[in-house]
Amino acid sequence: MNRGMNIVGGLFGAGFGFVLAAGKLHDYDTIHATLRFESFYVFGLMGLAIGVSLPLLWILERRGTETVYGGTLSLSRSRVERHHIVGGVLFGAGWSIAGTCPAPALAMLASGATYGAIAVVGLFIGLWLRDRQLMTANRAIGEGDGERSTLPGTKTLGAR
């Protein structure tokens, strides 16, 4: 990967972190108020993000837009499987207990919230456990959304 791509990625990451912090999505109390259905602010932000990105991505895919990596934009589609449900339940449980998810945890850490450090350590432990489980099950550790692997001849995460 070239240096320019790293700079662009870093700028987009910093911008995303700024938006998370400006929206108070890195605040434990904001997330817990949402999960207790006391505030629908975060649900509104999520709905807005989906409502804007879904049609734009659909249009870009239909137009055959080329990605910055030189390939054609192609969104993955898959049927809902058991591991999606289990993963969603685990993610939701972790989100409700920690009051954060990966990106806001990093924004917490960057804002100086020491709780963010605990959440980030937990994220890395979870990633390590996932990789260990996949290696034990003799499955490929792929890139992206876990639906497919870029390594030829290996099983994908969803393969049985």
* pTM beyond 0.85, yes or no: no
Cα distances (Å, whole numbers) of residue 151 to 1, 131, 134, 147: 18, 16, 15, 12
Burial of 82 per CB tally in 10 Å (0-12, 13-18, 19+): exposed
At residue 37 the predicted structure's pLDDT band, cuts being 50, 70 and 90, is very high
Closest among 74, 91, 83, 86 to 156, alpha carbons compared? 83
Q: Does residue 155 have a pLDDT over 70? A: no
Cβ-based neighbour number of residue 145 at 10 Å: 9
pLDDT tens figures, 46-104: 899 999 999 999 999 999 998 877 788 888 888 888 888 988 898 888 888 888 888 88
Note the pLDDT of residue 62. Answer: 93
